[in-house]
Amino acid sequence: MSMPTQGSGLDSGYHPDAGAPHTAAEVKSNSLGDLMRQVTTDLSTLMRQEVELAKAEIRQEGKKAGKAAGLFGGAGFGGYMVALFVSIAVWQFLDNVMDSGLAALIVAVIWAAVAAVLYSMAKKNAQHVRGLKQTNDSVQRIPDALKPHPEGVTR
């Protein structure tokens, strides 16, 4: 009887049925110790594979998020410069009509309102950040795989 390979990573060549008995007669012919060793080995391999899947998923999503963050940073800086110069222009325009301090205060209140709206939108979007979907789905199926099947072990 061959044992599963103990590689690290998703491409280790491990197949869940490699080394495990396939029929009820093969299961009955093995000792309880052999069966427990197989279960322990399979669970250990399954957990390592789930951890590797999570790592791969995090790396993949991290690269996407990093690129998007860089682009958003550049766009944010450009938007900041536009907002700065538009704010100065509005301040100067209002300065022609009223006191300079009051004009600056009006511009600051407008920016406070804009910041409040952007904060509420950001908070809503942060709630929709995608987690480790594949890993979560896979881990959710583990308990079903460990439940006994009434028909026994047949293939």
Mean pLDDT rounded to a whole number for the chain: 78
Q: Region 95-107: what's the mean pLDDT? A: 91
* Contact present, 59 and 51 (Cβ < 8 Å): no
Q: Is the pLDDT of residue 3 over 50?
A: no
How would you classify residue 14: left for phi > 0, otherwise alpha for psi between -120 and 50, otherwise beta? beta
* Contact present, 20 and 30 (Cβ < 8 Å): no
Q: Structure pTM?
A: 0.40
CA distance 95 to 126: 39
Q: Is the pLDDT of residue 107 over 60?
A: yes
Q: Region 116-137: what's the mean pLDDT? A: 79
The model's confidence at residue 34, banded by pLDDT at 50, 70 and 90, is confident
Q: Which two tokens stand for residue 82?
A: 């536009």
CA distance 128 to 134: 16
Structure confidence at residue 89 (pLDDT)? 94
**% residues pLDDT > 90 (the chain):** 26
**% residues pLDDT > 70 (the chain):** 72
Higher pLDDT, 139 or 12: 139
* pLDDT tens-digit readout, 40-91: 888 888 888 888 888 888 888 888 888 888 998 999 999 999 999 999 999 9
